[in-house]
Amino acid sequence: MADQEGGDDNEIGVKLAVRPKTKRPPLYKVLILNDDYTPMEFVVQVLERFFQMNHAQAFELMLTVHKKGVAVVGVFTYEIAETKVAMVMDFAQRHQHPLQCTMEKE
Ligand code: TYC
Whole-number Å distance, alpha carbon 64 to ligand 1 midpoint, is 10
Which is nearest to 102 in space by CA: 87, 85, 90?
85
Tell me the pLDDT tens digit for each residue of 9-27. Answer: 556 676 667 877 888 999 9
How distant, in Å, are the alpha carbons of 2, 9, 82 from that of 21?
Answer: 14, 17, 27
Range in 15-19, 51-55, 65-69 the model is least confident about: 15-19
Whole-number Å distance, alpha carbon 98 to ligand 1 midpoint, is 10
Nearest residue (CA) to ligand 1, atom 4:
36
pLDDT computed for residue 79 by the predictor: 98
Mean pLDDT of 80-97: 98
Tell me the pLDDT tens digit for each residue of 25-38. Answer: 999 999 999 999 99
To the question of pTM greater than 0.85 for the whole model, the response is no
